[in-house]
A and B are shown apart, each in its own frame.
Chain A
Amino acid sequence: MREPYGLIGVFATPEAIQQAAAQLRRLGLHGVEAYTPYPVEGLGELLHPGRKLFLPILMFVAALCGAAWGYFIQYWDEALDYPLNVGGRPHNSWPAFMVSTFEFMLLVTVFAGFVGLLVASRLPQLYHPLFNADEFGRASRDGFVLCVEMRDPSFDLATVSRIFERCGAERIEEVTA
């Protein structure tokens, strides 16, 4: 048998979903997540409070590593592994190495950012219970979907749906996994 996953409410405006989210937070419910067609300001902070520094730090470290890697490749090549007299230039002609060092730095940073984004967002995740909901598709168009997971012991179907209705949910639906 398909056990339930959560309850979703579909709202028409960002204000509505923000209001609903705020009330649910006040209930202290966990497993509350909002799904919106575009980043609604404040919603993320509301549902996941606290400063999130993981990605910026990751990309900064990546930048340092990229630069170091970039310079080292060139230094190893020209000065250590196979030093040659090229046009009378010194083996370690660092000014000439700078450009590629820079490029390597940027490449590694962006790569780290891209991977970091997927990891932090738990992507790729091709199946998710929410996809079973009829109305969930609107979350990627014009609907603002709020979902409360039923795992939480303090979850009470009546309360949550009342909050949804009060905040003007156009539709409320139970989602099963």
Chain B
Amino acid sequence: MSLPGELPADEPIVAPAVTMSSLSFEVSSRVLRPGAPRWWWIGFGFSFALFILLVIQLAWLFIFGIGVWGVNIPVAWGFAISEYVWWIALASGGTIISALFHITRQPWRAATNRIAETMLLSAIPCAGLMPIMHLGRQGLFYWLFPYSSVMGVWPQVRSPLWWDFICLFCYILMSIMYYYTGLLSDLATVRDLARSRFKQIFYGVLALGWRGSSREWRNHKIVYAIMSAIMAPMVISVHSVVGLDFAGGLTTGWHDTQFPPYFFFGAVISGTAVIVMLTIIVRWGYRLQDVITQYHLNAMAKVVLVGSLLLAYAYLWEAFGSIYSSDIAEYTEYMHRMFGFTAAGFWAEKALVVIIPQLLWLPAVRRNQTMLFLISGGIIVGMWIERYVFTTASLEHNYMPSYWGLFYPTFWDWAALAGTIGLFLTMFFVLIRLVPIVSMAEVRDIIEKKKRGEA
């Protein structure tokens, strides 16, 4: 797979050999070819095993209650919530790549946005599952829906948790619609190339009879543009509201006005990082080096770098605010975070998310897929640690010294983490098997523009 980065400076956005027809056949064949390649089966099998673990974990959790986790008083939020934030951040990355860079007209977005959105769709269920699992009475989560559920009582809409619930709810629906809108024409392509009756019908129905008429294209263009223009602020709001879950609370280390942007920066970096990893895998696995080129990886690596710088800035402000503020509670909490029980995590996270990514300043590193893969992986881990540290450490050293405590995860905490990763990968592998993994229509556009020397 990894061809180290001795490519010419002007990497082509699409390999010259690629024509509209070759593109269509290549990409569609990945979906239509009977049976799946070996690497896919290995990946899927591994993911599915983890997914089974999630099922067991859920059963255990529902039978015995969340006491099986390490959460306690004062640390009433543990893995579940920090991982919820983590998953949401990954998901948001998908929208950022596809929406933000669509309205900013980034040509390289064309070949990668489908991977990004597929990742997004696979990550959202994991994110959604976490807060439901962590409820004391999981079966009653629907009481958060805005209707008068019990004795005419409504949800309490001042709660950041409710905002978050609504955000996530809207985000899921909108992402699906956005994804589908972008997918229509490609489904048509697959439909037209499908030979087996079943696949013709399957994709025929999914394509809703899309024909690519100029009227359809015009409407599509308008709607898709507006949708992108909406999804961009949407994703920012989603992660900001997740930030408000904490900033809205009256807890040391959480009660911090910079959380919304801070969290969004986290989303940018971790989301892009995971897309980089998946892109490298898919590109290699599906032999799509010609369509998804070094150019894309390079561009995304730069995004990662930017994210890391933004985050470094947020960290600085956090430290400054906590140390410089006259609030003794804030101060002791931050000291605990830096040098106390969570010190190891604290510094590891800073190294993985801020220090190491600085390597991406070097073009050589950006072009070296192995390096890129490892750095991105490090960032994902680092971001997980970061969420974990600030969720638990803040609660551990709260306002009431007599009730300081520590959080020790149990086996089932880890099972929940591994299990959701399983769910995520399982969904991802299934999706890349079912839908074209590159947005062909947009790439065709680029190919034609290239012919005319526009791109």
Do A and B interact directly, with beta carbons closer than 8 Å? Answer: yes
Whether the pair B215, A48 counts as a contact (CB closer than 8 A) is yes
Which of B152, B204, B223, B233 contacts A106, CB < 8 Å? B233
Give the contact stretch, choosing among A134-142, A148-156, A158-166, A167-175. A134-142
- CB contacts under 8 Å to B, within A74-117, are 74, 77-78, 81-82, 86-87, 89, 93, 96-97, 99-100, 102-104, 106-107, 109-111, 113-114, 116-117
Q: Which residue of A lies closest to B190 (CB)?
A: A140
- List the A side residues contacting B180 at CB < 8 Å: 114
Asked if A11 is at the interface of the complex by the 8 Å CB criterion, the answer is: no
Asked if A34 is at the interface of the complex by the 8 Å CB criterion, the answer is: yes
Asked if A27 is at the interface of the complex by the 8 Å CB criterion, the answer is: no
Whether the pair A123, B209 counts as a contact (CB closer than 8 A) is yes
Whether the pair B441, A44 counts as a contact (CB closer than 8 A) is no
B355 to chain A, nearest CB (A): 34
Asked if B400 is at the interface of the complex by the 8 Å CB criterion, the answer is: no
B195 to chain A, nearest CB (A): 11
Asked if B327 is at the interface of the complex by the 8 Å CB criterion, the answer is: no
Asked if B450 is at the interface of the complex by the 8 Å CB criterion, the answer is: no
Asked if B104 is at the interface of the complex by the 8 Å CB criterion, the answer is: no
Whether the pair B237, A96 counts as a contact (CB closer than 8 A) is no
Asked if B249 is at the interface of the complex by the 8 Å CB criterion, the answer is: no
How many A residues, CB 8 Å from partner? 60
Asked if B210 is at the interface of the complex by the 8 Å CB criterion, the answer is: yes
- List the B side residues contacting A136 at CB < 8 Å: 192, 211
Asked if B420 is at the interface of the complex by the 8 Å CB criterion, the answer is: no
Q: Which residue of A lies closest to B192 (CB)?
A: A137
Asked if A128 is at the interface of the complex by the 8 Å CB criterion, the answer is: yes
- List the B side residues contacting A36 at CB < 8 Å: 212, 214, 217
* Bound-complex Cα distance A77 to B445 (A): 49
* Bound-complex Cα distance A139 to B181 (A): 19
How many B residues, CB 8 Å from partner? 64
Whether the pair B218, A125 counts as a contact (CB closer than 8 A) is no
B373 to chain A, nearest CB (A): 32
Whether the pair B237, A77 counts as a contact (CB closer than 8 A) is no
Asked if A52 is at the interface of the complex by the 8 Å CB criterion, the answer is: yes
A-B contact count (CB 8 A): 199
Asked if B158 is at the interface of the complex by the 8 Å CB criterion, the answer is: yes
Whether the pair B230, A123 counts as a contact (CB closer than 8 A) is no
Asked if B362 is at the interface of the complex by the 8 Å CB criterion, the answer is: no
Whether the pair A106, B234 counts as a contact (CB closer than 8 A) is yes
Whether the pair B209, A35 counts as a contact (CB closer than 8 A) is no
Which of A47, A113, A140 contacts B212, CB < 8 Å? A140
Whether the pair B226, A56 counts as a contact (CB closer than 8 A) is yes
Asked if B137 is at the interface of the complex by the 8 Å CB criterion, the answer is: no
Whether the pair A142, B223 counts as a contact (CB closer than 8 A) is no
Whether the pair B218, A52 counts as a contact (CB closer than 8 A) is yes
- List the A side residues contacting B192 at CB < 8 Å: 136-141
Whether the pair B146, A77 counts as a contact (CB closer than 8 A) is yes
A78 to chain B, nearest CB (A): 6
B447 to chain A, nearest CB (A): 9
Asked if B359 is at the interface of the complex by the 8 Å CB criterion, the answer is: no
Known contacts being A38-B442, A81-B148, A104-B166, is A44 close to B215, with CB within 8 Å?
yes
Q: Which residue of A lies closest to B187 (CB)?
A: A140
B107 to chain A, nearest CB (A): 13
Whether the pair A38, B158 counts as a contact (CB closer than 8 A) is no
Whether the pair B146, A14 counts as a contact (CB closer than 8 A) is no
Which of B152, B162, B212, B448 contacts A82, CB < 8 Å? B152
Known contacts being A36-B212, A126-B204, A128-B209, is A142 close to B226, with CB within 8 Å?
no
A-B residue pairs in contact (CB < 8 Å), sample of 29: A34-B214, A37-B24, A37-B185, A38-B185, A39-B220, A56-B222, A73-B146, A77-B155, A77-B157, A78-B157, A81-B154, A82-B154, A86-B156, A87-B158, A102-B237, A106-B233, A113-B226, A114-B180, A118-B208, A120-B215, A121-B215, A123-B209, A123-B216, A126-B208, A126-B209, A128-B209, A139-B192, A140-B188, A141-B192
Given A55-B223, A97-B157, A113-B226, 11 extra CB contacts under 8 A: A36-B217, A38-B212, A74-B157, A82-B154, A99-B237, A103-B234, A113-B227, A121-B219, A125-B209, A140-B210, A140-B211
- Give the A-binding residues of B (Cβ under 8 A): 19-21, 24-25, 146, 148, 152-158, 162-163, 166-167, 170, 173-174, 177-178, 180-181, 185, 188-189, 191-193, 204-205, 208-223, 226-227, 230-231, 233-234, 237, 241, 244, 440-442, 444-445, 448
